[in-house]
Each structure stands twice: as C-alpha cells, then as structure tokens.
Structure 1
C-alpha cells in the first residue's frame, strides 16, 4: 500500500464503499448486459476489459459510452431509448458471473466488529445494488445503501456520500471513502472526506495518480491501512 498524504487523520466512525470494482467485481455481468444490448443493434461485442473502462458513472453513461465505442454515438431521444432498452437487460445480468472483491467480506466484518458503521454509496441503480449485495451476503453488513436514484447528482458529486453520512449520523470529518476510481476520489474530496483507492477496479488512470490518501492492493489490506493512516506522524 502507498500513501499520497502525510500526517495522521482521525480513525473513522464510518466507512463508505463504492460498489462496482470496489466491493464487487461486476464487470463480467455488466459486459454481458452491454453485449446483449449492442447485439440487438447488430453491433459487435466488447471484451470484458473494454467494458470495464466504461464503468463508473452510472448505467446511462455506460450505455452512452458503449455506443460511442461501437462507432454509433447516440444522443437525445435515441440515447434515452437505448437507456430504457438497457434497464431490463442490465437487471437480468447481476450475479451470474460477478464475485465479491478479495477481502470484501473480511473488511466489512472487521469494521463492524470494531464499532465502525459501513455503507455503500454507488451510482448503480438501487434495485441492482440491493440485489447484488443481498445475493452475496453483504447487505446485512451495511447500515445503509445510497444508490443512483437517491440523489440528484451522481458521483463525482458528493451527494450520495453526504446522504449516506446523514443517515448514519456521522460528519464527513469522521468518515472515510473507499473506492476504485476518479469519481470516488472526486466525490470524497467534494464531501470533505479522506479517501482510499483499492487496486483491481475499473479505473483507466493508474491508482497512484488518482489523488487518494492511500492506495491498497486489496480490501484485505484496508484494516492495516486505516491503522497506519491513523497512527502516521
């Protein structure tokens, strides 16, 4: 693990997690949904790795990026229609090939055992987020889930993070964001929170260049990382 900032910060009372690419490796299922959608438009499929570069700003942006990458950019009513077409497809590809990220359960269990509230702040649609978390046995380890429809502005705006903290009764100064992307860092900074980036997610930018307080190899490293940041001189 590597840090970006010097100095200690308070041990958090709450830790917020991104979902796709942070708690769940969902790219294979998202790729299956994207490929089903583009096949309906007689467009060639994408590799999972390519779809991974499209993830991170919500399902509508995913659809927009997919058609742009297929050299069939959509906008206006045509894009709106493709997004409507995508929703049932997306909801039919949630847990078939997805898996929890390494250390996801262990990190959540450790935090809760130490009295730290845990929550998810994601751009993913609410129905999809709740189904995924329930399927993998993570829902009961979270105090709240703030999904895309719950706020007017998605990450990198801070709205989802601030709503989660409001529900938890914890101020941003006593919380931490854990994510995998530029959107997560931007949202945390806008909310006034420190942020940890976990490798293995869907960012196109090298993790060390995202501007986080710390970069972890996996969620297995998160408990030790928090202790290190709290105790830094």
Structure 2
C-alpha cells in the first residue's frame, strides 16, 4: 500500500529511545571491566557512556578509569562483550512505558515505522522481537546493515529507502547528539 505523501516514515533510534537497554549494556561492560582489574561503573554514571556502539562503550569505560587500551585488546574485549551481551540481551531491557501503545497508534494512523540504530542488526531484531514489537517496523537497520553507520546521514536515508522502497519524507526520533547530527546531515527533522 503506497504511503500518503503527507505521512512521513517515522524512524526511531533503539537504545534509550524505544527501549531502556542500559542495565544490560552496563552489566556486560562491568563484567569486562572487572575481568580487566578495573572498577565497575554505577549504572547512573555509565548511562552517559552509551552511544556509538559497544566498542565505543568499552573504550569509554577504560578512558573513564584512565586506563589505556590497545586496538588489539579492544577487539578481544569487544568479542567477549558481544558474546556475553548476546546471551543477556533482554535480562533487564524493557520498552519505555507507553512505547508499544504509541507504535500501535502510529501504525494504525498509517505511518510506516523503521529503526536506525548503532546496535548490530541481529541484536536489534532479536531484542525488538523479544519485546513484542519487531513486526511494527518496515525496516530494522543496525550498524552492520550498511557499510556506514550513524552519524553518517546515509545510515538514516538508506533506512528510509529500505522501509519505503525509495526516499520519502521522514522524521527521526532519537535521544542523543548522534541522532540529532545524523538527522540534520540527512535533512530529516
């Protein structure tokens, strides 16, 4: 069914926008930090570190504690992070209150919905499925869906194209400077 030109596709970020994933991300980060002889970071403080993917989260956790991390060691820790996080993806993750109802309402009104996230696509699809909302989205695009990711504006524009078959008017809903920068660069409100 063609989308009416007056109804933009609504593209959501995932972490911190649709779902509160911080507890599971931080739990995995703290496991990595403690294995490396560093202190766990309280959830409230660690929330500030989330954004731009797991590698950045690990790097920020080390930087916060003034500990250097070689690129080789970062890759090893990243693999450990991905393995553990994948096993505990929705232990404490939940949709923000009212999210499922809002998605349903927007869908009923004729909006197509999509996700553009720096979480990997497989984790994003699984997380949204386990939270019961994956079927609401025409496209779920992660950092590994394309050869680029946010803040590159193509991550957003290609998500829209994947959801609609072509570039159509869209709105980006996110919670971070990365989301704002991506939307501005793509000329998407």
Fold shared, TM-score > 0.5 on shorter chain: yes
8 Å contact kept, 1:12–1:176:
no
Q: Which residue of 1 aligns with 2:30?
A: 35
Query: Aligned Cα RMSD in Å?
Result: 1.5
Q: Which residue of 1 aligns with 2:188?
A: 193
CA separation in 2, counterparts of 1:185 and 1:131? 25
Q: Which residue of 2 aligns with 1:52?
A: 47
CA separation in 1, counterparts of 2:176 and 2:152? 13
Tell me the number of residue pairs that the alignment of Structure 1 and Structure 2 aligns. Answer: 184
Match of 1:99 among 94, 97, 103: 94
When normalised by structure 1's length, the TM-score is 0.75
Q: Which residue of 2 aligns with 1:88?
A: 83
**1:25–1:11 CA distance, 2 compared to 1 (3 A):** farther
Q: Which residue of 2 aligns with 1:119?
A: 114
What is the DSSP-based 3-state SS (H/G/I as helix, E as strand, rest coil) of the residue aligned with 1:116? coil
8 Å contact kept, 2:7–2:110:
no
What is the DSSP-based 3-state SS (H/G/I as helix, E as strand, rest coil) of the residue aligned with 2:114? strand
1:156 is the counterpart of 2:156 = no
1:131 is the counterpart of 2:126 = yes
Q: Which runs of 4+ in 1 moved over 4 A?
A: none
Gaps of 5+ in 1: 1-9, 195-233
Q: Which residue of 2 aligns with 1:22?
A: 17
Gaps of 5+ in 2: none
When normalised by structure 2's length, the TM-score is 0.91
What is the DSSP-based 3-state SS (H/G/I as helix, E as strand, rest coil) of the residue aligned with 2:49? coil
